[in-house]
């Protein structure tokens, strides 16, 4: 019943703290143009567009797909706008893939963006309705307590978070699109950076970026017609759970575990660490690398930090994680999830340039959002399987 | 190209849900009220009116103590518009005695560096309800008693 | 397009200004979902995929849709997604999911508490943020521009518009969920003052709060859940330009295009149109080629109850209900989004799976 689908092309902007040279439409168009060109197509060849973005309150634009229709060449076409909090970029990729897998469209453009310089994300994330307790201080303030709980639960040494930051920022320096490119960052510098939400430091925190990412997904016929290598979508998965409920495990959420279990089943993966060549996962605060390694089954519960400490998540390690530099190097919030999906595709297409994991054939793209409650994932491969 | 700021001013009428209203009326009487879900039996505070795990309305009223345990926390050093307390301050997850879920609140009244997981705290009341929690001097709760609530 | 998927259930909350409902939608959703389940004999564990439609800007909070997830009891974790659009597009995403085979039964829900917001002003933020939105062209004024264009082109008269309102209210008398209904003459309506000339109050949908739920199922399950499923024989949507001056506001190519793609082969007997303004009812009928032989919006349509982000879904649900009850052999549900009918969706439903 389900048709084959593949990533035909990928495009993204150079992510920066302020892109004062383009409007929101221009930012999106830059990524869209690159994606269709990468696929050997034009916007006229696209049958439908799926737009993903974080809350409208960030940029002050309600339902931006309405304003963007012209810029995306979507007039006269179907346009959907998904919004699943931080996982939205992943959901955008998955919904676009579904349209092809269902046989509804032959070529779909998935696009996600955030123009943070034209928004006040910190304010939008901290709005407290009347009668509520004014405690939350942005995303960092929400996640830092759960990071503390992980450290206690796992017994991880305190420098693990800083190791992740060093790796991801150095990887960012290999990625021409990354916002932060800190090739000479050191463990000492990270550990000396200001403490923002104890135990999370400044250098262990994602930046705020203007950026867009676009991916063209096509059916088997479109893949056959593509001028270069494609990334076959072997599996997709999405799961949600409530933000808070009695019995929720905030450190190792059930929704993440069930999402990846369904994903591995679909993709025929029984031994993730040995069968996945590279993982682009959503790590906005450094400690989420070991936490997600466990949640995704690359390591047993409580053991994820050992992979980080041993250098196994670097390019060349057993399970390279975020060779692109990840969310720690570029974080246009609405786009970050799609960037993970796009970078996983670039890896198996062999197009990741200086941050290519040699011989990568099977890759994981992962995104999460909300209070560790929304998860979207996919597995892509260089062959249809 | 330059940047210009366009103010967006919108007014919203916020309505407290029946569960929130029940809780807020309790706070006005300096009582901490929760609700137990008839399906899973878990006690929620603040009550949500609907059990998020089961999607059913919750009715059974439960009164909780003013004391609880810090399950986890962070020290906020970051400022942002609309912030009510000046950093550094502790934002913690507090498991009230008798509740099955922790909720976020402030821990003040001591140096942020003194706060630890397992610390025992009590509510400090103000006009609008609980202003914050502060240490109540009891010995820390053992990790095993609160680890499954994190 | 094959008819592998059918609507098997529809429920909506009574549309009204609700003091007991919050912007999270939970209070409106819980009983509506329960009603939809009851009719089909389903429980939450039967739902393979949930998809919601709602708006943060309507709620005045970022991530407002997240609170609504409390209403669905997502423990154990469930496959769930959200569009920041009318629930009609959430249903579309759910339909696609069922077509992939990833779910057999899906539930789409939409909700909105318009009475908590300054609705007209909020909607101005849908326009170009650099050049247009800062002028605050509120939604009623934008609709009024379109209405005036039609008047001056001789496409309709204010009396024609009033007659749409009168017809809708009369039809809504049989709809327990309608916010306004009852007999009224066009002449009486025309005697009332303008709110944004040439629009009078009756030309605009009322402001009210509500939620809608539609359940769909694959061919394998549909007949277990419903005696007469409403098979989705076509489902399509299109968008026109966001620049008001860049398109002819008196034509609706996206509605015509969506209908053409959804399949207009055999005529429908019932068409539920999501027209929040009287002149838009006239425009949509013309654009979609709906003649006098089609019963338009027997529920009273959006003019009698317009819960934002649920109203389009409720049109599809009402059209499906016409088929499920046997009143119609073929029906269509329409939804719109954006200023002056910028984006349009059509769902064609039939008592026969083809």
Residues of B in contact with A195 (CB under 8 A): 75, 77
Is C100 near chain A, with CB under 8 Å?
A: yes
pLDDT, tens digit, for every residue of C256-286?
A: 999 999 986 679 999 999 999 999 999 999 9
Please name the residue of chain B whose CA is at the shortest distance from the CA of residue C68.
B52
Closest CB from A74, A102, A258 relative to C100: A102
Predicted TM-score of the model (pTM):
0.97
**Could you give the 3-state DSSP secondary structure of residue A240?**
strand
**Mean pLDDT score of chain A:** 96
Residues of A in contact with B143 (CB under 8 A): 152
Mutation target to probe the C interface, by most C beta carbons within 10 A, among B6, B7, B12 is B12
The pLDDT score that the predictor gives to residue C1 is 42
Judging by beta carbons within 10 Å of its beta carbon (0-12, 13-18, 19+), is residue C128 exposed, middle or buried?
Answer: buried
- Verify whether the Cβ–Cβ distance C22 to B53 is below 8 Å: no
Domain ranges of chain C: 5-118+207-229
B92 min Cα distance to partner chain A (Å): 7
Considering only residues 26 to 85 of chain B, which have any Cβ-Cβ distance to chain A shorter than 8 Å? Answer: 40, 42-44, 51-53, 71-78, 80-85
- Verify whether the Cβ–Cβ distance C60 to B14 is below 8 Å: yes
B72 min Cα distance to partner chain C (Å): 23
Please tell me the total number of residues recorded for chain B in this structure.
150
The pLDDT score that the predictor gives to residue B18 is 87
B59 min Cα distance to partner chain C (Å): 14
B103 min Cα distance to partner chain A (Å): 9
Whether A132 shows a pLDDT value over 90: the answer reads no
Considering only residues 131 to 150 of chain B, which have any Cβ-Cβ distance to chain A shorter than 8 Å? Answer: 143, 147-148, 150
Residues A35-43 have a mean pLDDT of: 98
Chains touching chain B at 3 or more Cβ pairs under 8 angstroms?
Answer: A, C
The pLDDT score that the predictor gives to residue C19 is 87
pLDDT, tens digit, for every residue of C109-128?
A: 999 999 999 999 999 999 99
Cα(B5)–Cα(A8) distance, rounded to whole angstroms? 39
Is B13 near chain A, with CB under 8 Å?
A: no
Chains touching chain C at 3 or more Cβ pairs under 8 angstroms?
Answer: A, B
The pLDDT score that the predictor gives to residue C3 is 54
pLDDT, tens digit, for every residue of C319-344?
A: 999 999 999 999 999 999 999 999 99
Cα(B107)–Cα(B68) distance, rounded to whole angstroms? 12
- Verify whether the Cβ–Cβ distance A104 to C99 is below 8 Å: yes
Q: Please, how many CA atoms are within 13 Å of residue C258, restricted to the half-sphere of its CB?
A: 30
**Of A112, A132, A117, A126, the residue nearest A65 (C-alpha):** A112
pLDDT, tens digit, for every residue of A187-231?
A: 999 999 999 999 999 999 999 999 999 999 999 999 999 999 999
Q: If you count residue pairs, one on A and one on C, with CB atoms under 8 Å apart, how many are there?
A: 177
- Strand A200-201, strand A79-82: pairing: unpaired
The pLDDT score that the predictor gives to residue B1 is 62
Give the angle subtended at the CA of B58 by the CAs of B54 and B60, to the nearest 5°: 135
The string of DSSP letters for C74-87 reads --S-B-EEEESS-H
Please tell me the total number of residues recorded for chain C in this structure.
354
Residues of B in contact with A21 (CB under 8 A): 1
Mutation target to probe the C interface, by most C beta carbons within 10 A, among B3, B4, B15 is B15
Domain ranges of chain B: 15-64, 66-150
Per the structure block, which two tokens stand in for A173?
């320096």
CATH code that applies to domain A5-121+207-225: 3.40.47.10
The pLDDT score that the predictor gives to residue A66 is 98
The string of DSSP letters for C93-150 reads HHHHHHHHTS-SEEEEEEEEEGGGS-HHHHHHTTS-TTTTGGG---HHHHHHHHHHHH
Considering only residues 93 to 112 of chain A, which have any Cβ-Cβ distance to chain C shorter than 8 Å? Answer: 95, 98-99, 101-104
- Verify whether the Cβ–Cβ distance C118 to B6 is below 8 Å: no
Cα(B117)–Cα(B113) distance, rounded to whole angstroms? 12
Element (H, E) at A258: helix A254-267
pLDDT, tens digit, for every residue of C255-264?
A: 999 999 998 6
Whether A50 shows a pLDDT value over 80: the answer reads yes
Residues of C in contact with B56 (CB under 8 A): 30, 73
pLDDT, tens digit, for every residue of A278-302?
A: 999 999 999 999 999 999 999 999 9
pLDDT, tens digit, for every residue of C32-49?
A: 999 999 999 999 999 999
Please name the residue of chain A whose CA is at the shortest distance from the CA of residue B46.
A132
Cα(B128)–Cα(A372) distance, rounded to whole angstroms? 30
A253 min Cα distance to partner chain B (Å): 11
Closest CB from B11, B12, B17 relative to C26: B17
Four-residue CA torsion sign, A141, A121, A78, C69: positive
- Verify whether the Cβ–Cβ distance B42 to A122 is below 8 Å: no
Element (H, E) at C40: helix C26-40
Is A240 near chain B, with CB under 8 Å?
A: no
- Verify whether the Cβ–Cβ distance C238 to A66 is below 8 Å: no
Residues 6 or more apart whose CB falls under 8 angstroms from that of C136 comprise C121, C124
A58: left (phi over 0), alpha (psi -120 to 50) or beta: alpha
Cα(C312)–Cα(C85) distance, rounded to whole angstroms? 10
Is B82 near chain C, with CB under 8 Å?
A: no
pLDDT, tens digit, for every residue of C162-210?
A: 999 999 999 999 999 999 999 999 999 999 999 999 999 999 999 999 9
Looking at residue B111, what DSSP letter applies?
-
Q: How far is CA A373 from the centre of its chain?
A: 15
pLDDT, tens digit, for every residue of A227-252?
A: 999 999 999 999 999 999 999 999 99
Closest CB from B6, B13, B57 relative to C30: B57
Mutation target to probe the C interface, by most C beta carbons within 10 A, among A3, A52, A57 is A57
CATH topology of domain C5-118+207-229: Peroxisomal Thiolase; Chain A, domain 1 (3.40.47)
Chains touching chain A at 3 or more Cβ pairs under 8 angstroms?
Answer: B, C
B3 min Cα distance to partner chain C (Å): 10
Is C253 near chain A, with CB under 8 Å?
A: yes
Mapping DSSP onto H, E and C, the string for C258-311 reads HHHHHCCCCCCCEEECCCCEHHHHHHHHHHCCCCCCCEECCCCCHHHCCCCCCH
Is A152 near chain B, with CB under 8 Å?
A: yes
Is A65 near chain C, with CB under 8 Å?
A: yes
Chain C interface, Cβ < 8 Å to B: 19-24, 26-27, 30, 33, 44, 59-60, 69-75, 113, 115-118, 121-122, 125, 129, 133-134
- Verify whether the Cβ–Cβ distance C116 to B8 is below 8 Å: no
- Collect the ranges in chain B with pLDDT lower than 70: 1
Task: Give the residue with greater pLDDT, A125 vs C74.
Answer: C74
- Verify whether the Cβ–Cβ distance A63 to C337 is below 8 Å: yes
Residues 6 or more apart whose CB falls under 8 angstroms from that of C248 comprise none
The pLDDT score that the predictor gives to residue A128 is 75
Q: Which residues pair with B126 in a beta bridge?
A: B129
Residues A157-177 have a mean pLDDT of: 98
Is B67 near chain C, with CB under 8 Å?
A: no
Is C239 near chain A, with CB under 8 Å?
A: yes
The pLDDT score that the predictor gives to residue A222 is 98
pLDDT, tens digit, for every residue of C85-105?
A: 999 999 999 999 999 999 999
Closest CB from A85, A95, A99 relative to C66: A85
Residues C71-85 have a mean pLDDT of: 95
**Of A148, A144, A190, the residue nearest A167 (C-alpha):** A190
C32 min Cα distance to partner chain B (Å): 12
Is A145 near chain B, with CB under 8 Å?
A: yes
């Amino acid at each position: 019943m389900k048709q084959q689908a593949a990533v035909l092309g990928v495009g993204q902007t150079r992510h920066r703290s302020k892109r004062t040279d383009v409007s929101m439409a221009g930012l999106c168009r830059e990524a869209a143009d690159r994606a269709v060109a990468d696929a050997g197509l034009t916007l006229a060849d696209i049958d439908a567009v799926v737009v993903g973005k974080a809350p409208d309150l960030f940029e002050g634009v309600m339902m931006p797909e309405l304003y963007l229709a012209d810029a995306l060449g979507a007039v006269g076409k179907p346009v959907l706008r998904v919004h699943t909090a931080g996982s939205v970029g992943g959901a955008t990729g998955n919904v676009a893939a579904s349209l092809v897998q269902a046989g509804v469209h032959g070529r779909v453009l998935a696009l996600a963006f955030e123009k943070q310089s034209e928004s006040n994300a910190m304010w939008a994330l901290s709005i407290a309705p009347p009668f509520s307790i004014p405690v939350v201080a942005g995303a960092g303030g929400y996640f830092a307590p759960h990071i503390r709980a992980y450290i206690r639960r796992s017994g991880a040494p305190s420098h693990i978070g800083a190791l992740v930051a060093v790796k991801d920022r150095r990887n960012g320096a290999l990625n021409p699109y990354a916002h932060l490119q800190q090739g000479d960052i050191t463990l000492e510098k990270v550990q000396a950076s200001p403490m923002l939400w104890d135990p999370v430091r400044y250098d262990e925190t994602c930046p705020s970026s203007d950026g867009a990412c676009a991916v063209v997904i096509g059916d088997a016929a479109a893949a056959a017609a593509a001028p270069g290598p494609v990334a076959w979508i072997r599996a997709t998965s999405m799961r949600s759970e409530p933000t808070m409920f009695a019995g929720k495990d905030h450190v190792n959420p059930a929704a993440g575990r069930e999402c990846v279990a369904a994903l591995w089943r679909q993709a025929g993966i029984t031994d993730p660490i040995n069968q996945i060549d590279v993982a682009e996962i959503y790590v906005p605060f450094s400690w989420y690398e070991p936490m997600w390694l466990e949640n995704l089954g690359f390591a047993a519960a409580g053991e994820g930090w050992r992979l980080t400490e041993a250098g196994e998540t670097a390019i060349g390690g057993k399970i390279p994680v975020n060779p692109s530099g990840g969310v720690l190097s570029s974080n246009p919030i609405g786009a970050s999830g799609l960037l993970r999906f796009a970078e996983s595709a670039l890896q198996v297409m062999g197009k990741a340039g200086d941050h290519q994991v040699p011989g990568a054939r099977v890759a994981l793209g992962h995104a999460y959002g909300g209070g560790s409650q929304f998860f979207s994932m996919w597995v892509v491969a260089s062959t249809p399987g | 190209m330059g940047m210009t700021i366009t103010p967006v001013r919108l007014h919203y009428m916020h309505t407290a849900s029946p569960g929130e209203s029940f809780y807020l009326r309790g706070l006005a009487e300096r009582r901490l009220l929760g609700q137990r879900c008839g399906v899973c039996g878990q006690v929620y505070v603040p009550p949500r009116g609907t059990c998020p795990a089961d999607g059913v309305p919750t009715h059974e009223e439960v009164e909780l103590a003013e004391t609880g345990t810090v399950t986890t926390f962070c020290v906020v050093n970051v400022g942002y518009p609309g912030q009510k307390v000046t950093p550094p301050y502790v934002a913690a997850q507090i498991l009230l005695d008798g509740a099955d879920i922790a909720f976020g609140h402030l821990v003040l009244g001591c140096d942020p560096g003194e706060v630890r997981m397992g610390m025992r705290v009590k509510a400090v009341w103000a006009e609008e309800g609980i202003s914050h929690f502060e240490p109540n001097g009891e010995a820390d709760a053992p990790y095993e008693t609160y680890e499954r609530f994190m | 397009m094959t008819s592998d998927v059918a609507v098997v259930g529809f429920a909506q909350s009574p549309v009204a200004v609700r003091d007991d409902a919050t912007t999270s939608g939970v209070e409106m959703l819980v009983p509506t979902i329960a009603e939809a389940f009851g009719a089909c004999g389903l429980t939450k564990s039967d739902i393979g995929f949930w998809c919601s439609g709602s708006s943060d800007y309507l709620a005045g909070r970022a991530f407002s849709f997240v609170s609504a997830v409390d209403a669905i009891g997502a423990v154990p974790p469930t496959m769930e997604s959200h569009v920041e659009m009318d629930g009609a597009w959430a249903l579309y995403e759910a339909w696609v999911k069922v077509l992939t085979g990833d779910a057999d039964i899906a539930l789409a829900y939409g909700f909105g508490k318009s009475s908590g917001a300054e609705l007209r002003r909020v909607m101005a933020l849908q326009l170009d943020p650099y050049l247009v939105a800062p002028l605050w062209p509120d939604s009623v004024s934008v609709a009024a521009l379109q209405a005036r264009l039609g008047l001056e082109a001789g496409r309709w008269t204010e009396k024609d518009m009033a007659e749409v309102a009168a017809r809708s209210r009369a039809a809504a008398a049989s709809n327990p969920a309608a916010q306004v209904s009852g007999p009224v003459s066009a002449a009486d309506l025309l005697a009332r003052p303008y709110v944004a000339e040439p629009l009078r109050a009756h030309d605009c949908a009322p402001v009210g709060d509500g939620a809608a739920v539609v359940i769909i199922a694959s061919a394998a399950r549909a007949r277990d859940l419903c005696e007469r499923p409403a098979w989705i024989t076509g489902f399509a949507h299109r968008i026109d330009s966001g620049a008001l001056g860049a398109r002819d506001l008196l034509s609706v190519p996206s509605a015509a295009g969506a209908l053409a793609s959804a399949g207009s082969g055999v005529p429908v007997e019932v068409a539920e149109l999501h027209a929040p303004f009287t002149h838009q009812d006239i425009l949509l009928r013309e654009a979609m080629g709906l003649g006098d032989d089609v019963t338009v919006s027997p529920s009273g349509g959006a003019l009698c109850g317009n819960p934002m982000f649920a109203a389009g879904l409720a049109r599809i649900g009402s059209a499906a209900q016409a088929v499920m009850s046997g009143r119609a052999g073929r029906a269509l549900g329409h939804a719109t989004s954006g200023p002056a009918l910028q984006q349009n969706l059509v769902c064609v439903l039939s008592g026969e799976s083809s």
